[in-house]
Amino acid sequence: MMMGAKSAPSLASVSASIMTSASNSTSKSSSAAHITVLLNEAVDALNIKPSGIYVDGTFGRGGHSRLILSRLEKSGRLYAIDRDLAALAEGQAIQDARFHISHLHFSEINHLASNNNLTKVDGILLDLGISSPQIDEGERGFSFRFDAPLDMRMDQTRGKTATELLTTISEQQLGKVIKDYGEERFAKQVARAIIKERTDGRAITTTGQLAKIVASAIPKIEPGQNPATRTFQALRIYVNSELEELSLILPKCLNLLAEGGRLVVISFHSLEDRIVKQFIQGEQNRDDLPARFPVKAIDLPQPRLKAVGKAIKPTALEVKQNPRSRSAVMRVAERTAIA
């Protein structure tokens, strides 16, 4: 449903508010302003049409959405998605007739389109991974910095918690999850230690308990990194099916984008970025025929997407102001006229 019907705020007032928020230092309290990564770069990459229709597939705390709204005129529309209830509440507080937010996983973007009679949109933004508030709110169970229930769900209304998954997963499968999603070289040792804890009759129910188990299983600790970092990342990705979600939404974005529409994706680790990069390359270079296959160039499959520029990373200044932005990579693609 539309969130209110107030007149659109002026571009100057909204932009000033966003930039002030973005320049504030990070706070560990749950009420603190979330620093949006690649804020201007991402919204600039959407190439906003003032009367266009846009989708923010990962609303978070609304930094990108507010800047998009500041560039839309009265006839423009912005539809946002988030699976996190706290993010949903933040979005529902925006009183703007041009704005609509839905409680959905972004792979359910087709539901957003059908529920709002959208056939084509002019741009889609995906800011992947976990948000600072999710990390900094200990009760969410994402961080080893707090001893809290081991939940890790981005959507608190559905799915199994990390604790529930760890009660049934096999040692072999757990090792694969930690190796593939956490890129942890000691994945087998970590999985073995976790399963031993379980078989000894001790359910793994808190972040602190899990962090201690992981630390005891890793023989060599990387300087400057908590030994539980990679395992926590792996379990979070697994609990939330993050890579599956990403693989599902990308082709749906392709179908929803109008000719000239932009797809902008910000990734925070190589697993995500690889999926995005390969998807764009695959849609841009669709000639998968054998070499020297007798076919005219005009008859070859034509690109449905074209990459816009090279991958963009945060500036040194942004990383200094917000260290959590250091691993971000943004890729941009534009929809062609090819069906």
Question: Who's near 339: CB < 8 A, 6+ residues apart?
Answer: 304
pTM of the model: 0.86
How far apart are the C-alpha atoms of 114 and 240, rounded to whole Å?
24
Neighbours of 273 (CB within 10 A): 20
Domains, the chain, with CATH or none: 11-133+243-335 (3.40.50.150), 143-240 (1.10.150.170)
Strands (E), the chain: 53-56, 77-82, 99-103, 121-127, 257-267, 305-307, 329-335
State residue 11's pLDDT score. Answer: 36
Can you give the pLDDT of all 339 residues of the chain as single tens digits? 333 333 334 333 333 344 333 333 333 333 345 789 999 999 999 999 999 999 999 999 999 999 999 999 999 999 999 999 999 999 999 999 999 999 999 999 999 999 999 999 999 999 998 988 999 999 999 999 999 999 999 999 999 999 999 999 999 999 999 999 999 999 999 999 999 999 999 999 999 999 999 999 999 888 888 999 999 999 999 999 999 999 999 999 999 999 999 999 999 999 999 999 999 999 998 666 666 666 656 666 789 999 999 999 999 999 999 999 999 999 999 999 998
Parallel, antiparallel or unpaired: strands 121-127 and 329-335: unpaired
State residue 294's pLDDT score. Answer: 66
State residue 292's pLDDT score. Answer: 63
Q: In the 8-state DSSP scheme, what is residue 246?
A: H
DSSP notation for 219-243: SSPPTTS-TTHHHHHHHHHHHHTHH
User: 115 burial class (0-12, 13-18, 19+ CB within 10 angstroms)?
Assistant: middle
Q: Please report which residue ranges of 71-117 form alpha helices under DSSP H.
A: 85-92, 109-115
- In which region does residue 159 sit, left (phi positive, over 0), alpha (psi from -120 to 50) or beta (all else)? left
State residue 310's pLDDT score. Answer: 97
How far apart are the C-alpha atoms of 94 and 66, rounded to whole Å?
9
How far apart are the C-alpha atoms of 148 and 208, rounded to whole Å?
7
With tokens 């846009």, the residue in question is 54
- Residue among 273, 272, 301 at smallest CA distance from 287: 301
Helix or strand holding residue 268 (H, E): none
With tokens 């109008």, the residue in question is 258
* 78 beta partners: 54, 99
Indicate the SS3 state at residue 102: strand
Q: Cα 32 from chain centroid?
A: 20
